[in-house]
Structure 1
Amino acid sequence: MKAISFEGIGQVLATFQCGETVKMGQVVKVSADGAVEPCAAGDHIAGMAVVVRDGCAAVQVAGFVTVAASGVSKVGWTKLSANGSGGMKVDSTAGTDYLVVSADSENGSAVILL
């Protein structure tokens, strides 16, 4: 058990319309005016769908969030993009810089600052 938790720090949520393909806990991108959809591999993300209900998604667009992440093995500034499976991956060429404050490569997750 880790002694430090970043959960909820700086969390900002925005409500968007979404289709049935958006699931809770996956990274999403803006797809239309006021709407989001799941990210494809290599996409830049708008945030993470925290709650999905009745055709709407509460998307965390700022703050610390735990994401499914492949290839993240160190903390610090890391270039990441969507992995196409609801999480993120290291993308040193086309990724966006995110501050990784916790990396759990064994479980495939990371805590990042959006």
Structure 2
Amino acid sequence: MDISLNGFGENVATFAVSGEVKSGMPVKISANGTVAPCAAKDKFCGLVLSVHNGYAAVQMTGYIKVSYAGTKPTVGYQTVNADGTGKVQVETTGRLLLITDVDEPEGTCGLVLA
């Protein structure tokens, strides 16, 4: 039997956009009510679900599938931050998040934003 965590604890907020952001990338708060792309090793506030007319829907909490860079993450609590190219990476500093699944061929992992 397959399981799904899609929709678990999902909370989404709308922000104005500064810079070039795309769906799936981690973003940070850059000004009042505004998000921008993350640089390498930035802690991110959420991941972009969609962008339209200068606004982004950003998932702030809950389960999400995201592309990773660098070392393959392992399931369990890991320290995660942005890699500066629109992906996340496991590092020694960042946000402590629960990684629930890893798909190495796809280069993605499922994590729970808290």
Same-fold call, TM > 0.5? Answer: yes
Residue 97 of structure 1 aligns with which residue? 96
> 2:23, 2:49 within 8 Å by CA — same for their partners in 1?
yes
Asked whether 1:52 is paired with 2:51, we answer yes
Residue-by-residue CA offset, 1:85-110 (whole Å, 9 max, x unaligned): 11100102x12211000012232111
Which residue identity lines up with residue 107 of structure 1 in the other structure?
E
Q: Distance in 2 between matches of 1:104 and 1:73?
A: 10
Asked whether 1:9 is paired with 2:47, we answer no
Bigger mean CA deviation after superposition, 70-79 or 22-31 = 70-79
Residue 23 of structure 1 aligns with which residue? 22
Root mean square deviation, CA, Å: 1.4
Helix, strand or coil at the partner of 1:21: coil
**Among the aligned pairs, what percent are the same residue?**
37
Q: Distance in 2 between matches of 1:105 and 1:29?
A: 26
User: 1:20 Cα shift?
Assistant: 5.0
Residue 80 of structure 1 aligns with which residue? 80
Consecutive unaligned residues in structure 1, runs of 5 or more? none
User: 1:38 Cα shift?
Assistant: 0.7
Q: Where do 4+ consecutive residues of structure 1 move more than 4 Å?
A: none
Helix, strand or coil at the partner of 1:86: coil
Q: Distance in 2 between matches of 1:100 and 1:45?
A: 16
Consecutive unaligned residues in structure 2, runs of 5 or more? none
